[in-house]
Amino acid sequence: MTSKTKKIIRYVAITLLSLVIVSGVFVYIMYNTLIKPNTNLKERVTYSLYIHSDATFDDVVKTLENDSVLLNINSFVNVSKRQEYDNYVKPGRFLLHEGMNNRQIVRVLSGGLQSPVKVTFSYSRYLEKIASKVSKQIEADSASIMNKYNDDSFIKSLDIEGRSKYTLVVPDTYEFYWNTSAEGFWKRMKLESDRFWNESRLKKAEMTGLTVDEVVILASIVEMETSKNDEKARIAGVYMNRLKKGIPLQADPTLAYLINWNAKRILNQHKQIDSPYNTYMYKGLPPGPICFPATATIDAVLNYEVHNYLYFCAKSDFSGYHSFSTTYTQHLLNAKSYHDALNGR
């Protein structure tokens, strides 16, 4: 073998060895950058990353860094910039899992692959409380939710087909994207209200002789009369009997509403307040609901129990249930039994 041949072989060997080393380094870097898991979530397993609508890439990095979500923040930044995620940050709630690598993380974030949140709210005396509860579960704050509700032009744009805007509030559990705006929330509530007030419920409302608004108003009174779902249809039946006979509803909750729920017991002086919400003074339903009732209560009104009762009073055993009567004489006896028990306490 000549000297020249030996040099060529040595050169080729060195070149191949260099290529192997470079390839190995490249594979190592690629593995650590793209393939190697980069989440520090062993104790948490999952992590919810909330990105606000006005957030920048730096904000995302700072959040991940402050919460110690990633093992190597720099490798995430490099992959993000390589895939141009830093220029197209999308808002929302993104769920990161233990074992995810940078490529998977960036794919979720850049693709806007949000994990929805469950938004739950039940009946409430005040819309402000509902807005406050909702705002803790989506990006929109309570003030913006209230402002949109009180924006007449916006409500008009929803086209609620003759219904009052309080029928937009349908307490339940819904899935929302976290970055939902106040406008987006009410638009969704419009869809849910339309879905709730389907053909079957509209037909039942018509059969009661009440409008949709009136059904909700009556349901709001029933809601504040009892927490027992199995009794709501019977109480609704009492009020329907009174409406049909032209007898004042004499519903204590409407008086409690007048004094902003600031009394443990309704007194005779409260019955002298001159207001259309005073159902002792004025016949028929008040002009609006006294709370935002649960859907179960609305259904109780739509399916009210047919009977002859005109009166009801809380039971003296403090079970939360009521005694019903067809005569005022019997009602007075039931009321005395309850008040004696109450005074005894």
Q: Does the residue 314 lie in any domain? A: no
Q: How confident is the model at residue 28 (pLDDT cuts 50, 70, 90)?
A: very low
Record the tokens describing residue 66, joined without a space.
């402050």
Based on the domain organization, do 185 and 159 belong to the same domain?
A: yes
Based on the domain organization, do 235 and 286 belong to the same domain?
A: yes
Based on the domain organization, do 277 and 225 belong to the same domain?
A: yes
Based on the domain organization, do 81 and 127 belong to the same domain?
A: no
Residue 167 has pLDDT above 90, yes or no: yes
The better pLDDT of the pair 161, 159 is held by 159
Based on the domain organization, do 94 and 129 belong to the same domain?
A: no
Q: Does the residue 141 lie in any domain? A: yes
For residue range 187-202, what is the model confidence (pLDDT) as tens digits? 999 999 999 999 999 9
In this prediction, residue 3 carries a pLDDT of 66
| Nearest C-alpha neighbor of 186 from the set 160, 168, 163 | 168
Q: How confident is the model at residue 43 (pLDDT cuts 50, 70, 90)?
A: confident
Total number of domains in the chain:
4
Based on the domain organization, do 272 and 232 belong to the same domain?
A: yes
Q: Does the residue 341 lie in any domain? A: no
Based on the domain organization, do 225 and 168 belong to the same domain?
A: no
In this prediction, residue 330 carries a pLDDT of 95
Cα-trace Rg, the chain:
32
Q: Does the residue 239 lie in any domain? A: yes
State the Cα–Cα distance between residues 22 and 26, nearest whole angstrom.
Answer: 6
Based on the domain organization, do 124 and 176 belong to the same domain?
A: yes
Based on the domain organization, do 121 and 106 belong to the same domain?
A: no
**What's the whole-model pTM score?**
0.84
Question: Using an 8 Å Cβ cutoff, are 213 and 163 in contact?
Answer: yes
Domain boundary at 163, 196, 229, which? 196
In this prediction, residue 8 carries a pLDDT of 58
What is the overall mean pLDDT for the chain? 90
Question: Is the CA virtual torsion 254, 255, 259, 263 positive or negative?
Answer: negative
For residue range 219-228, what is the model confidence (pLDDT) as tens digits? 999 999 999 9
Q: Does the residue 328 lie in any domain? A: no
Q: Which of 125-129, 149-153, 258-262 has the lowest mean pLDDT?
A: 258-262
State the Cα–Cα distance between residues 224 and 80, nearest whole angstrom.
Answer: 54
Q: What is the mean pLDDT of residues 93-108?
A: 94
Q: Does the residue 63 lie in any domain? A: yes
Q: What is the mean pLDDT of residues 173-187?
A: 97
Residue 297 makes CB contacts below 8 A (sequence gap 6+) with 123, 219, 220, 222, 223, 229, 232
Residue whose entry in the numeric block shows the structure tokens 């609901």: 289
The better pLDDT of the pair 36, 322 is held by 322
In this prediction, residue 345 carries a pLDDT of 74
Based on the domain organization, do 145 and 98 belong to the same domain?
A: no
Question: Using an 8 Å Cβ cutoff, are 68 and 125 in contact?
Answer: no
In this prediction, residue 15 carries a pLDDT of 56
Based on the domain organization, do 167 and 252 belong to the same domain?
A: no
Identify each DSSP E strand in the chain by its residue range: 46-51, 92-97, 117-121, 172-176, 311-314, 322-325
Residue 212 makes CB contacts below 8 A (sequence gap 6+) with 163, 167, 197, 202, 205
The DSSP H or E segment spanning 160 is none
What is the percent of the chain with per-residue pLDDT over 90, rounded to a whole number? 77
In this prediction, residue 290 carries a pLDDT of 96
Q: How confident is the model at residue 45 (pLDDT cuts 50, 70, 90)?
A: confident
Record the tokens describing residue 327, joined without a space.
């005569």
The pairing of beta strand 46-51 with beta strand 92-97: antiparallel
Distances (CA, A) of 60 to 11, 54, 297: 49, 11, 44
Name the residue range of residue 225's domain: 208-307
Q: Does the residue 269 lie in any domain? A: yes
What is the CA 63 to chain-centroid distance, rounded? Answer: 26
Q: Does the residue 333 lie in any domain? A: no
For residue range 103-147, what is the model confidence (pLDDT) as tens digits? 999 999 999 999 999 999 999 999 999 999 999 999 999 999 999
Domain boundary at 135, 169, 196, which? 196
Distances (CA, A) of 132 to 62, 113, 155: 28, 27, 20
Distances (CA, A) of 94 to 109, 116, 168, 178: 7, 8, 29, 9
In this prediction, residue 265 carries a pLDDT of 78
For residue range 261-306, what is the model confidence (pLDDT) as tens digits? 887 778 888 899 999 999 999 999 999 999 999 999 999 999 999 9
User: Looking at residue 60, which CATH number applies to its domain?
Assistant: 3.30.1490
Based on the domain organization, do 30 and 67 belong to the same domain?
A: no
Residue 17 has pLDDT above 80, yes or no: no
Residue whose entry in the numeric block shows the structure tokens 């949109």: 148
Q: What is the mean pLDDT of residues 19-45?
A: 61
In this prediction, residue 44 carries a pLDDT of 75
Looking at the DSSP bridge assignments, the partners of residue 117 are 176
In this prediction, residue 14 carries a pLDDT of 58
